Amino acid sequence: MSEETSSQDGNGKVSRVIRIGTRKSQLARIQTDSVADKLKELYPDFHLEIVAMSTTGDMILDRALSKIGEKSLFTKELENALERNEVDLVVHSLKDLPTSLPAGFTIGAVLKRENPHDAVVLHPSNTGKTLDTLPEKSVIGTSSLRRAAQLKKRFPHLEFKDIRGNLNTRLKKLDEKDDFAAIILAAAGLKRMGWENRISMILEPEDCMYAVGQGALAVEVRARDADILEMVSVLHDPDTVLRCIAERAFLKQLEGGCSVPVAVHTKVKESQLYMTGAVYSLDGSQSIKETMQTSIAPGDEQSLERVDEQVQRVGVTAMKVPAEAQDAAERLGIKLADLLLSKGAKEILTVARQLNDAR
């Protein structure tokens, strides 16, 4: 628990204080508020306080994310506050969380995933066009190596340049200057901000597969806080948990991160978990892409897992999701990564990492 654990209202009623850590950006606040609202509904007697802070990734805006060389760009300061008991839980975009968390922390909840796909936002002067119909050498803004690698291959007539900043900043850079014909953003963020009207097109998996964990929110807690873990575990969305465990296991086995182009696509259908994973060279000219599936149907005797901080799969503790299904999802991610590695993925990623470092 955080230092101050209770507060008193005007009627003398004492309620437990739960402090929630978040980044300061508007999107982060909206995401955190949505989690707080769900918790307030479930635990009306708790007093929730939101503590906002800036992270390294928010402060370094003059370099591409893949060049900064820090795995926990958007999470470190928040985890420090968690460690110092200044907050009790932290809300993140799951894709910002490394596949291995620092000792003593766990992801206690993965909420129902918003649309995980990427979206094209066109400059107002290009309204009505698509990436296919944009003029030759049109410049597309993205700070993601994954997006750029896939789209360079699919749309060779376009050029790609880094664009940094939060959603508001990037949209402003697009609209107020003529540097970019369009920018690529996560559809989930635009939707949560209420800016769906800016989405010119959604990129389907054939054009651009998404990042590991994209579109999902995660609640990080101290692994030893059994009561907080129990409290947030009701927020888990089982299908999202299984998809994201598979995706994170895939990325971890590949030893990937934001400095290499790795992309995924997952779905759950009729008790089967389907997963497509791919790695790319920086220019998109080389790629390895495969699909696998596994059953996540419940066995005959399945019990819910007891609270145990050791039961973590790629940083996720999902107490309300059957262990058998979680194990199957984790194995699927590892097997798919091993298949790609056997076909030369390591070489492609090593060269991509070296080229990115040299840029």
Q: How far apart, in Å, are the Cα atoms of 325 and each of 259, 262, 276, 315?
A: 30, 24, 18, 16
- For 5-58, give the DSSP string: -EEE-TTS-EEEEEEEEEESSHHHHHHHHHHHHHHHHH-TTSEEEEEEE--HHH
Q: Considering just the CA atoms, what is the radius of gyration of the chain in Å?
A: 21
Contact 19, 87 (CB under 8 A): yes
From 9, 58, 62, 96, active-site residue: 96
Residue type, 259: S
Contact 335, 292 (CB under 8 A): yes
d(CA 222, CA 295): 31
* Locus of tokens 């750029």: 148
Eight-state DSSP code of residue 279: E
Q: What is the SS3 assignment for 222?
A: strand
* Residue 283 annotated to the active site: no
Contact 292, 350 (CB under 8 A): no
Burial of 310 (0-12, 13-18, 19+ CB in 10 A): exposed
Give the catalytic positions in this structure.
96
